[in-house]
Amino acid sequence: MKNLKGKVAVVTGGGGGLGRAMGERFAQEGMKVVLADVQADLLAATVAECQSNGLEISGHVTDVTSQESVNELRDFTLSTYGSVHVVCNNAGIGAGAEGRMWEHELNDWKWAIAVNVMGVIHGINAFVPVMLAHGQEAHIVNTSSGNGGVSPLSGTPQYAATKAAVVTASECLYAQLQEVESVIGVSVLFPGPNILRTGLFESWRSRTDEFAKQRPRKTPYTTIEQIESQMKAAGREIAYTAVEEVAGVVVDGILGNKFWMMPASDRGDETMRLRYESMKSRTNPAYLRQVPG
């Protein structure tokens, strides 16, 4: 896309954190924005605050695990603004599983797949046909993570596996749109290069009854403060990336038609190299880590 002014953007997971930052940045670029989130109260407060700041932002409560709900988001967007040009499939959760992988509840897997993978697929199914029909320049941004998209953290198998799937789905979507000579761009976003302060570690607050845990937790949910302590104990420097900075990467990536929205990171590059060398030489993986970062 050559410019964003006057275009329409949809962002899932837009009630707070990175999704909100992207929506605000799009509006600042002159776009009309629809923020979607499953948490109605959070979404309403965010939209009200954005509107009070003069931003053209609307909200629509959406459960990305449901194709019907995402279709309703599409219909709301079209009825409100008449078209859609940018869709950010950004909603994501950390499953909050306890113990080792073989001890995790199936609902931990089902919830992570339903939001992190099927949420992206539902967004593609709902919006790509509309974009193809109007024939204008458009762009899809799918949020992945270095945790899974580059290499997994061993303690978060649901999150890592689903974020790896987002990368592969994005690659396939990009190739298929190229095959039909579409003017729709595709990007996969790796927020970072450092930790983001978002609601990811409080995902359990939005867990619906359909995917409810089937046995009581033995320990409290992991917090960002615990992650900080783990990193300190491992001798790792703690650094944060502002969500507004990532939103800027998204805007630049859309305007530059960049598939890989991946900020430069020496640590990330080294992990990619180690993983590639392990695969190329068929040696056992020695690059796997437990502590995020």
pLDDT (tens digit, 9 = 90+) per residue, 37-55? Answer: 999 999 999 999 999 999 9
Tell me if 293 is assigned to some domain.
no
Tell me if 291 is assigned to some domain.
no
Tell me if 204 is assigned to some domain.
yes
Tell me if 13 is assigned to some domain.
yes
Note the pLDDT of residue 293: 37
Q: How far is Cα 59 from Cα 43, in angstroms, rounded to an integer?
A: 7
- Contacts of residue 180, defined as CB under 8 A and 6 or more positions apart, other chains included, come to 132
- Tell me the whole-structure pTM to 2 decimals: 0.92
- Contacts of residue 32, defined as CB under 8 A and 6 or more positions apart, other chains included, come to 6, 7, 8, 9, 56, 58, 81
Note the pLDDT of residue 221: 74
Residues of the chain with pLDDT under 70: 201, 204, 224, 227, 230-231, 234-236, 290-293
Which one from 81, 159, 174, 287 is the annotated catalytic residue?
A: 159
- Residue 206 parent element (H or E): none
CB 86 within 8 A of CB 10: yes
- Contacts of residue 60, defined as CB under 8 A and 6 or more positions apart, other chains included, come to 34, 35, 36, 72, 73, 76, 77
Tell me if 278 is assigned to some domain.
no
Tell me if 145 is assigned to some domain.
yes
Tell me the residue range of the domain where 118 lies: 8-265
CB 86 within 8 A of CB 50: no
- The residue with tokens 């776009």 is 31
Is 159 known to be catalytic? yes
Q: In this predicted model, what pLDDT tens digit does every residue of 79-107 receive, in sequence order?
A: 999 999 999 999 999 878 888 999 999 99
Note the pLDDT of residue 106: 94
Q: Three-state DSSP class for 148?
A: helix
Note the pLDDT of residue 204: 67
Number of domains within the chain: 1
CATH assignment at residue 248 = 3.40.50.720
- Contacts of residue 7, defined as CB under 8 A and 6 or more positions apart, other chains included, come to 1, 31, 32, 85, 86
Tell me if 271 is assigned to some domain.
no
Note the pLDDT of residue 201: 65
Tell me if 75 is assigned to some domain.
yes
Percent of the chain with pLDDT over 90: 75
Note the pLDDT of residue 288: 84
